[in-house]
């Protein structure tokens, strides 16, 4: 799974752009050299990444399970565990992947002021697992997005980067021949 996450993030941090040339839409890659050659193209040096939102706002399915099994106390323990290992498990990898393209990763959900605010906010105001997925997980973020006019985005159910980008599907198909074989769902 980490390879799929890394691959999706590596391609995303490349900064591919969509452009129109002679009425034909084409995709292009924006590596540093290409950015110097193409004046009309803007190549970001800093990428804002959403890592930390799930770990601080209760965005994973296991957070819902923890709440269902042990209430707010169990959920708090699960969130603290995720936040404690985030630095080791994900951020180093993500920073290196972005750096490979000359980009600098920034993690606004892990800003010291944001983390401090969330630690001082009751969990009941951050998430509400009595509501369905896409509504109760990361509830505080969804409310802010809705107030900013992003109503559609505020109601989307979480999709992990490796699944939303379909890199997991491509990887499984390449390695096993199909998603079904990769999952062990074949019958003899």
Cβ atoms of residues 16 and 28 within 8 Å: yes
Could you tell me how far CA 109 lies from the centroid of its own chain?
Answer: 11
55-97 pLDDT, tens digit per residue, is: 999 999 999 999 999 999 999 999 999 999 988 878 888 888 8
β partners of residue 26:
19
Give Rg (Cα) of the chain.
19
**Helix axes of 2-13 and 167-176: crossing angle, nearest 10 degrees:** 130
Contacts 24+ apart (CB under 8 A), 140-144: 140/57, 141/53, 141/57
CA distance 74 to 63: 9
* Residue-averaged pLDDT of the chain: 80
Q: Considering the entire predicted model, what is its pTM?
A: 0.72
> How far out from the chain centre does Cα 162 lie?
9
- Three-state secondary-structure class, residue 28: strand
- In 3D space, the residue among 54, 56, 48, 50 whose CA is nearest the CA of residue 116 turns out to be 56
Please report, rounded to a whole number, the percentage of residues in the chain having pLDDT higher than 70: 73
Residue 93's pLDDT is: 84
């Amino acid at each position: 799974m980490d390879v799929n996450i890394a691959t999706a993030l590596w391609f995303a941090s490349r900064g591919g752009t969509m452009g129109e040339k002679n009425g034909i839409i084409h995709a292009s890659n924006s590596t540093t050299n290409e950015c110097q050659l193409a004046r009309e193209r803007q190549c970001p040096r800093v990428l804002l990444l959403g890592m930390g939102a799930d770990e601080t706002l209760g965005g994973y399915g296991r957070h819902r399970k923890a709440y269902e099994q042990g209430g707010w106390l169990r959920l708090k323990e699960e969130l603290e565990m995720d936040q404690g290992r985030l630095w080791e498990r994900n951020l180093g990898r993500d920073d290196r992947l972005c750096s490979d393209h000359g980009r600098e990763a920034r993690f606004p959900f892990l800003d010291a002021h944001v983390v401090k605010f969330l630690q001082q906010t009751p969990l009941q105001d951050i998430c509400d697992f009595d509501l369905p997925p896409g509504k109760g997980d990361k509830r505080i973020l969804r409310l802010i997005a809705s107030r900013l006019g992003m109503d559609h985005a505020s109601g989307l159910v979480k999709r992990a980067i490796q699944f939303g980008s379909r890199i997991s599907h491509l990887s499984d198909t390449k390695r096993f021949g199909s998603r079904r074989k990769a999952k062990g769902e074949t019958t003899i």
